[in-house]
Structure 1
Amino acid sequence: MASHRRTSQPGRTTAARTSRVAALSVAATAAALATPTAQAAPGETPADVASRVDRLYQQAEKATEQYDAAGERADKLRADLNDLQDEAARGQERVNRMRDGLGSLAGAQYRSGGFDPALALMLSSDPDSYLDRAEALDRISNRQLTQLEELREAKRALDQHRSEATAKLNELNRVRATLRARKRDVQGKLATAQRLVNSLSAADRARFASRLAERTSRSARGFDLSDLSGLGPASGRAAAAVAAARAAVGAPYAWGSTGPSTFDCSGLMVWSYRHAGVALPRTSQAQLGAGQHVPLGQARPGDLVIYRNDASHVGMYVGGGQVVHAPYPGARVRYDPVGMMPIAAVTRPA
């Protein structure tokens, strides 16, 4: 049955999401250039700037995960709203058909027996024929009562669908407002970080980049690789996800992106496991609970390594004491030691 709503064209949702990510990246860059340049504090070394920028990146990553969660909720609400609107359209068509049918029955009843039955029987020249007609009218009357009740039920269902659609629309508007706030938060932190980097001389920027790399390797020092099992992937799906993650190495970080050419940290996990036929939740916090938790010593390639107490970063263990992850803005998907930062949990997707 035809719906009263216009359906979306195939691919439009994906294309719109890709365009949105691209627009947000451009907006973040524009914000960095348009805002007055932040300066490193007097006496602040590239190492100090690296620490400040690293903190900003962590804060931006946490805000990005919140943005991703709000975006996932908005997508779900839009799908629910579309379904409710379709239900309401079908319900309205059903109500209209019932009303038309009842109108036809009422007209037939009026034309065939529009006055007192006793008087009609007394005046009838053919009582037997009249009684046959009266019985038919009685059946019509009973059918009409049944259809009236069905009409009432259809109208109640229609009102319910409309009420639910209104509630979904109101919630969607609230989530959209949250998305805008998260977007401003991420863009502000990234712009501040970029302005700090831009305030450095070319030589200091080079030292700054090496400091960030040193911070990662320094975090991993002392990590005992003998704790790792050295076993292969737990399943064929895990192996496929590892292959996809490895293929993404070198792709740029872009917040809010799930590929195919740019990624944020949780987006890379979603994209990699999608290639294995597994649908992961969108955010690292949700990915924390997306499977069985295993001890780090039992980690296998394909397991998700969730970092920090707030679970704001995630990488994929690929064996050999390494993860593949999308580190932070300005960096590319790369290999790093599994112990590069505090580990919250290791999750093995189902």
Structure 2
Amino acid sequence: MSGRLLRLVCTTAVATGIVLAPVPAEAGPEPAGPARPAERTVAELLTDLQRLYREAEKATETYNGTEERLKKQRAEVKRLDAELARARLSLHDSRGAAGRLARQQYQNSSDLSPYVRLLLARDPQRALDQGHVIGQLARKRAETVGRLTGNERKADELARRARKALDGHIALAEQQKKQRDDVDDRLRDVEKLLASLTPRKLTELAAFEAAGIAKAQERFIASGALSGDGKPSAAGDRAVRFAVEQVGKPYQWGAEGPASYDCSGLTSQAWERAGTPIPRTSQEQWARLQRVPLGELRPGDLVVYFPEATHVAMYLGGGMVVQAPRPGARVKVSPIAANPVLGAVRPDPAGEPVRRYVPPRLPAGATDGSDAGYAAAYAPAAPETSAR
């Protein structure tokens, strides 16, 4: 295996934290079944590889969504615990006040009730004043008892909600672990396929993929889907420049910087740095952000891919995007049609375009490497591009 191709396979393994299984030097006769990698066409191999990548991406975005829910659940558990602590302190104070009131009533008790003593008083005005005081004491007693009862109910309710929130946190953590294992399993399948290929097959695979993307981009531009670039908003300009600054950093599933990114980690962090927080996952970005026609794209808009919205990139202008493509790749600039386009969304629809826009300077090698993300099961020689 040539040095470059060996690095291609090993880089993927390092990025995913998986050790490639060695290929046996000798293999005995195999039972009849599916064709071995060496016997399959490049198109078939690439279709399988892209299917595996796409399954891994779907699992990654599911994991990312659970991680976001887990973050919110952690915050809710923390908030409820703090509120419960305050409620218990208030309940303690209320019980102390009720105890003091009970002691006062015991110490002031006599054979004659306060009302009878008022009737026997010689000074009517003094009797009225004492009556007012007694009324205040009665109201105070009622308020103390009511406060004690209310605080007890509140503390019980908060304790119930805190237990429920903690149970939810534990369930989400277990779910996240299963999803992490699922991603690892799917990426292990990718590594097994890559490790089974000869250097010649890897070279053919890369060339075949690049040719398919070039054809897809040519057809996409010829279709007129892009009618010219608009100018970004000020926030969009900041988001684009941040994304371009990340070019060359490795893809790592579940990562949102600063050392590495996955696809939606890059786009969400770019807009976070621009001052406009957006959802973490590509599916949520597609579902919750305002959609824009492809003919109205401006730098900073997000281009979403595949029917399940499992991949996302940031539009740069000129029919190009910046993206974190897949494990083993790095953040790079790619043709917009490197993957089947689902549509586009705009994080800041109310943002006014800047008067003058100078695109950021791209670093050297910004377009090097694989452009394909987690493609559907299609042969790159005839890719499908959907612009919905």
TM range (shorter): 0.7 to 0.9
Alpha-carbon distance in structure 1 between the residues aligned to 2:181 and 2:279: 23
Say whether the 8 Å CA contact 1:62–1:312 is kept in structure 2: yes
Alpha-carbon distance in structure 1 between the residues aligned to 2:188 and 2:56: 10
After TM superposition, give the deviation of residue 113 of structure 1 in Å.
2.2
For residue 29 of structure 1, what is the amino acid of its counterpart? Answer: G
**Matched residue of 2:151: which SS?**
helix
**2:151 aligned with 1:154:** yes
Normalised TM-score (structure 2): 0.75
1:109-258 map, 5 Å: 109-117=105-113, 121=117, 136-224=133-221, 226-258=224-256
- Which residue of 274, 284, 287 maps to 2:272? 274
Gap regions ≥5 residues in structure 2: 1-12, 25-34, 349-388
**Matched residue of 2:312: which SS?**
strand
Change over 3 Å in CA distance of 1:344–1:139 after alignment to 2 = same
For residue 56 of structure 2, what is the amino acid of its counterpart? Answer: A
Match of 1:65 in 2: 61
After TM superposition, give the deviation of residue 121 of structure 1 in Å.
4.1
User: Over residues 264-317 of structure 1, what are the superposed CA-to-partner deviations in whole Å (9 max), with x where a residue is unaligned?
Assistant: 111110111111101010111110134321111111111111111111111111
Q: Report percent identity of matched pairs.
A: 34
Alpha-carbon distance in structure 2 between the residues aligned to 1:151 and 1:97: 9
Say whether the 8 Å CA contact 1:250–1:334 is kept in structure 2: yes
After TM superposition, give the deviation of residue 208 of structure 1 in Å.
3.2
Change over 3 Å in CA distance of 1:142–1:114 after alignment to 2 = farther
Say whether the 8 Å CA contact 2:37–2:197 is kept in structure 1: no
Alpha-carbon RMSD: 2.9
Alpha-carbon distance in structure 2 between the residues aligned to 1:53 and 1:290: 31
- Which residue of 309, 324, 327 maps to 1:326? 324
**2:60 aligned with 1:101:** no
Alpha-carbon distance in structure 2 between the residues aligned to 1:154 and 1:72: 33
> Which deviates further from its counterpart, 282-291 or 83-92?
282-291
For residue 87 of structure 1, what is the amino acid of its counterpart? Answer: E
After TM superposition, give the deviation of residue 137 of structure 1 in Å.
4.8
Say whether the 8 Å CA contact 2:23–2:196 is kept in structure 1: no
- Which residue of 301, 313, 324 maps to 1:315? 313
Change over 3 Å in CA distance of 1:191–1:288 after alignment to 2 = same
Say whether the 8 Å CA contact 2:42–2:208 is kept in structure 1: yes
Which protein, 1 or 2, shows the higher relative CO under an 8 Å CA cutoff with sep ≥ 6?
2
After TM superposition, give the deviation of residue 214 of structure 1 in Å.
3.6
**2:302 aligned with 1:288:** no
Alpha-carbon distance in structure 1 between the residues aligned to 2:15 and 2:176: 15
> Which deviates further from its counterpart, 90-99 or 208-217?
208-217
Change over 3 Å in CA distance of 1:214–1:172 after alignment to 2 = farther
After TM superposition, give the deviation of residue 221 of structure 1 in Å.
3.3
For residue 270 of structure 1, what is the amino acid of its counterpart? Answer: S
For residue 295 of structure 2, what is the amino acid of its counterpart? Answer: G
Say whether the 8 Å CA contact 2:16–2:327 is kept in structure 1: no
Change over 3 Å in CA distance of 1:57–1:135 after alignment to 2 = same
User: Over residues 235-288 of structure 1, what are the superposed CA-to-partner deviations in whole Å (9 max), with x where a residue is unaligned?
Assistant: 100111111111111111100011112111111101111111010101111101
Change over 3 Å in CA distance of 1:109–1:316 after alignment to 2 = same
Say whether the 8 Å CA contact 1:229–1:300 is kept in structure 2: no
Alpha-carbon distance in structure 1 between the residues aligned to 2:88 and 2:21: 52
**Matched residue of 2:257: which SS?**
coil
Alpha-carbon distance in structure 2 between the residues aligned to 1:314 and 1:91: 45
Say whether the 8 Å CA contact 1:40–1:200 is kept in structure 2: no
**Matched residue of 2:166: which SS?**
helix
Alpha-carbon distance in structure 2 between the residues aligned to 1:304 and 1:27: 25
Change over 3 Å in CA distance of 1:266–1:133 after alignment to 2 = same
Alpha-carbon distance in structure 2 between the residues aligned to 1:85 and 1:26: 41
**Matched residue of 2:249: which SS?**
coil
Gap regions ≥5 residues in structure 1: 1-24
**Matched residue of 1:316: which SS?**
strand
Match of 1:77 in 2: 73
Change over 3 Å in CA distance of 1:246–1:348 after alignment to 2 = same
After TM superposition, give the deviation of residue 155 of structure 1 in Å.
1.6
After TM superposition, give the deviation of residue 35 of structure 1 in Å.
9.8
For residue 51 of structure 2, what is the amino acid of its counterpart? Answer: R
**2:17 aligned with 1:29:** yes
User: Over residues 183-228 of structure 1, what are the superposed CA-to-partner deviations in whole Å (9 max), with x where a residue is unaligned?
Assistant: 1111111011012111223343343334443443343231126542
Alpha-carbon distance in structure 2 between the residues aligned to 1:84 and 1:114: 47
Change over 3 Å in CA distance of 1:328–1:113 after alignment to 2 = same
After TM superposition, give the deviation of residue 34 of structure 1 in Å.
6.9
Change over 3 Å in CA distance of 1:118–1:299 after alignment to 2 = closer
